Structure 1
Amino acid sequence: MADVRRDEAAAPPRSETARSAYPTYAEDDFSGWAWFTGGLMGLVGVFQVIFGITALAHAATYSVPSSGLVIDASYTTWGWVHLLLGLAFLAAGGGLAFGQTWARIVGVALAVLSGLVMFTFLPAAPVAAALIIAIDVLLIWAIVVHGGEGRQGR
């Protein structure tokens, strides 16, 4: 009995606010939501890069002339916009997967920008653009609601 009391006295008291409903371990830096949002950002980045390369290499692939889009720009211009946006998505996705705060801010801004770009590109590829807009909305929700979970274990 004396040994137990001595061990309890040596341990610092834990406050109720410091306790968690889940135990924490040394490898608890992993967050499923952080990896999900990072992976989703990477997926949208790959889609944007594919859109960009397609628009740069094969402008004739799209059945709508560039004058029929919401913003009248050539497919070469749209290709570069999609390509650069896709590369930014890939970089931010890596940051999100590892719980970086800057990546949360950049990720939301990029998802909003991607939704707007895809909305203007909707006449050229309606199904793909609508799918990416839906993923952008899901991505914004996941980052805003669960974006901080990647840092909680640290």
Structure 2
Amino acid sequence: MSEQTTEARPGPRTRPNGMSGVPAPAQAQESSAWAGWVRFGAIVMLVVGVFGVIEGLAAILTPTYFVTATGTVLVLSWATWGWVHLILGALVAIVGATLLGEAPGWARGAGIGLVALSAIVHLTIIPVAPVWSIVVIALDVVILYALITTWGEPLRTR
């Protein structure tokens, strides 16, 4: 008779937090898909934020770059709107860079708030720059989708 050695077989893989249910490969694939949405949203946030900074600088440095018939947008001068775009764009870019890391909950919440504010700001300047405002609003909606649909998903499996 031949001797058979009994080797311990590895058990089913579980999620890192110890909860069983879905095997690790399927769970990792699903989490990485959601993490991909957050990364996509973060990269688009960086792009929108940098464009906001450029737009703000253009408005501050050349206040006649975009001028309505009265020289104002709503109740503020275009230079004032330039500062709004500059500050908001910088904040959006910073939060977008933070989301490229571990995507903490506060950054996702701040990203949702800042991107929603960005969409509202661009909605108010549609008479000045209609095509650009609509493009930025569309990108803001995509960012909001990427951040909101993945809110409850853990992003630790990157």
Paired residues of 2:60 and 2:82 also in contact (CA < 8 A): yes
Partner of 1:95: 98
Pair 1:144 & 2:148 matched: yes
Partner of 2:59: 55
Identity between Structure 1 and Structure 2 (%): 31
Cα offset for 1:39? 0.4
Paired residues of 1:37 and 1:97 also in contact (CA < 8 A): no
Paired residues of 1:49 and 1:83 also in contact (CA < 8 A): yes
State the AA in 1 paired with 2:54.
I
Paired residues of 1:45 and 1:87 also in contact (CA < 8 A): yes
Distance 1:117 1:107 in 2: 15
Distance 1:16 1:150 in 2: 15
Pair 1:76 & 2:79 matched: yes
Distance 1:130 1:11 in 2: 53
TM-score (norm 2): 0.79
Structure 1 residues 146 and 127: alpha-carbon distance in aligned structure 2, compared to 1, 3 A threshold: same
Partner of 1:108: 112
The structure that is helix-richer by fraction is: 1
State the AA in 1 paired with 2:95.
A
Distance 1:16 1:87 in 2: 42
Cα offset for 1:12? 8.7
Structure 1 residues 38 and 147: alpha-carbon distance in aligned structure 2, compared to 1, 3 A threshold: farther
Q: How many residues were matched structurally?
A: 147
Structure 1 residues 13 and 130: alpha-carbon distance in aligned structure 2, compared to 1, 3 A threshold: closer
Give the superposed CA RMSD. 2.8
Structure 1 unmatched runs, 5+: none
Structure 1 residues 132 and 88: alpha-carbon distance in aligned structure 2, compared to 1, 3 A threshold: same
